[in-house]
Structure 1
Amino acid sequence: MADNESEQYPQIGDKTISEQNKIYLRNVYTFFATSTKLNKNCDHIFFTNHGNTLFIDDFNLTSWLNNNGVDVQVREFNFEPQNSDYFTKSFYKFDCINEISKKSYSHSLLLDVDCVWLKPADALFQNASSNDICLYDVYESPSIDEPIHGLTRREMTEVFSSIDENYPKNKHPTHFGGEALFSSKKNLKKITQEHKQIYRRIQKDKEIPKFSNEKSIYDNDEYINSLVCNKLFDDWKPLNPYIKRVWTPPGFSNVEGNEDELCVWHLPSEKKTGLKYLFESIQNNPSDFESLGQPGLTKFIGKHTGVQKRPYLLKARMKTENLITKLSKIS
């Protein structure tokens, strides 16, 4: 968790810093509620740069995390980008990578908190731990001239090469998602060293590098992380069999119906809706949640988050809340 001024997050909308933090902390709860339920033999660490006790309204989140075996560690936000207010907090994960690289774990999995667990991590760890680096190929490597959000892989190569003269000019990068990273301790150290070098290099420049779509290298942590991981690793393995960035809005949904085979759903479009409803349901009935097995758990999470069909009352609630939000903006 990184605490700074209000900034732009398309999936959250126009929210104050207090509202953004509340949404984020609910996501922290749902992430660790699902992970500690399914991964009881794993160590869980939550990094934050907020030194005070964390509350969601009057609910003491810090106490709940501690009681559920989550190690809450306070660390400074050192990788905060300058002259950008777009996805700024997401760069805090570079500080998290740096901190994890100092731990004694042979391998570690880092995830965004707007993820939820559906199955234990056993299969993921068993298959991934034979590799030193596993990454999420979010767009599954389209052709080099196919634009994604107005940016092609060829254009990414040009900007990456201008930032780092050692970046291979003939290597068109894979766009790695920032929601998941599985790595050995050795490679985490390599990654964090490159992050620091790139960060210092950009800070020295008078102009922050921009892509042809006018996005700054600082407008998304995935740009810098893709630069670093493409430069460092050729023999990486995909996390795609275990995790998916699931979009649920009508007309923009990528739900295919086989998502229940995955271990983790990343739900960026459900930050302020589905994950809020999931938070409320788990908090209000913790014993019912703990008693859920499979396939009940997947169905329970799916109906709250829209990956599966939402109940009528939940859809009606969403429409009512959206209408209230629109009316409040007009007034």
Structure 2
Amino acid sequence: MFQNQFYEFSILEYIVQNNQKMEDNYLILDSDCIFTRAANELFAEAGETGFLSFEDDCTTDLVIHGLSRKDMKLMYEDLLKETVNEIPGYHLGEFFLASVKNINIIFSGFLELWPELLRRHTLGLPKFNEEAQTLSFLYYKNDFKASPKKTLLKRFWTNPVFYRNVETSDSEVAIWHLPAEKQFGLADLYQELVNTHNNYGFNLSDQHYISLVQKTLGIPHLSLQMKLKYYIVSYYRAIRKRAKKKLALKAAFYL
């Protein structure tokens, strides 16, 4: 589990305490997301509702951070004290867009929910273990619906050693979420934009920028050189991890 879970609610708290303009909109993204188009398209999609979110198309039985969607349904019923007729969706936690008005609603719900999550933790009961599960519940409670659009955000799994879900049409997606690239392409992209190009790459044309990120991150096509890098680095890390584990077990045995 990542150590920065629930930090996002501290950001929402700051917004609630420092901005009274109810129509202002805020976009919060994970640091391993990049833009390929202007962000105003996302705010336009949120429109007058002041809300935009997306759901993971995971199966209802898949356990993510301790809970499946079926587990979440049971928790919703327990928390809301009512029957939930459908299996709820799991909203992608890397993306948050809402107006100050809706942020107040969401954060107020979180303040009410948080003590119950702590109580459940103390008693060893099922609980929401991360931001996405918590936000999914608060969205459901307040009837905030996910957008069905697939061209605005995608979670890319890019390492061919484990799982790669990149498609040719993905070049058209507005925001790329790249969890695996924290250890691969994002550092290379940083070097290109910060150390190679003037003005941190802001002078690049849109087409030049898109070509650069596609080449550096291997989306949609992975070069032979990048594929070799994935395999060499991934297997090296796996072997090193296994060796460290064996050494730790041996040290514990001698103790």
Instruction: Tell me the secondary structure at the aligned position of residue 110 of structure 1.
Output: strand
Q: Identify which of 198, 201, 205 aligns with 2:113.
A: 198
Q: Which amino acid aligns with 2:70?
A: R
Counterparts of 1:1-331 in structure 2 under 5 Å?
A: 86-101=1-16, 102-103=18-19, 104=21, 106-139=24-57, 146-149=60-63, 152-162=68-78, 164-166=79-81, 169-205=84-120, 206-210=122-126, 217-218=128-129, 220-235=130-145, 237-238=147-148, 240-250=150-160, 252-287=163-198, 289-322=201-234, 324-326=236-238, 328-329=240-241, 330=243
- From the superposition, tell whether residues 278 and 234 of structure 1 become closer, same or farther in structure 2 (CA, over 3 Å): closer
TM-score (norm 2): 0.79
The Cα offsets for residues 64-108 of structure 1, whole Å up to 9 and x where unpaired, read as xxxxxxxxxxxxxxxxxxxxxx22313101111222234246211
Any conservation in 2 of the 1:304–1:310 contact (CA below 8 Å)?
Answer: no
Identical residues among aligned pairs (%): 22
Q: Which amino acid aligns with 1:201?
A: E
Q: Which structure dedicates a bigger proportion of its chain to helix?
A: 2
Deviation of 1:265 after TM superposition, in Å, equals 0.5
Count, aligned residues: 235
Any conservation in 1 of the 2:139–2:145 contact (CA below 8 Å)?
Answer: no
- From the superposition, tell whether residues 228 and 114 of structure 1 become closer, same or farther in structure 2 (CA, over 3 Å): same
Q: Which amino acid aligns with 2:197?
A: P
1:55 alignment partner in structure 2 = none
TM-score (norm 1): 0.63
Return 302-311 or 115-124, whichever deviates more. Answer: 302-311
Task: Name which one, 1 or 2, has greater alpha-carbon Rg.
Answer: 2
- From the superposition, tell whether residues 254 and 311 of structure 1 become closer, same or farther in structure 2 (CA, over 3 Å): closer
The whole-number CA distance in structure 2 between the counterparts of 1:238 and 1:252 is 24
- From the superposition, tell whether residues 217 and 124 of structure 1 become closer, same or farther in structure 2 (CA, over 3 Å): closer
- From the superposition, tell whether residues 312 and 152 of structure 1 become closer, same or farther in structure 2 (CA, over 3 Å): closer
Any conservation in 2 of the 1:135–1:238 contact (CA below 8 Å)?
Answer: no
Instruction: Tell me the secondary structure at the aligned position of residue 295 of structure 1.
Output: helix
Instruction: Return 5+ residue gaps in structure 1 as ranges.
Output: 1-85, 211-215
- From the superposition, tell whether residues 110 and 228 of structure 1 become closer, same or farther in structure 2 (CA, over 3 Å): same
The whole-number CA distance in structure 1 between the counterparts of 2:73 and 2:231 is 43
The whole-number CA distance in structure 1 between the counterparts of 2:43 and 2:5 is 25
Please give the root-mean-square deviation of Cα atoms over the aligned residues, in Å.
Answer: 2.7
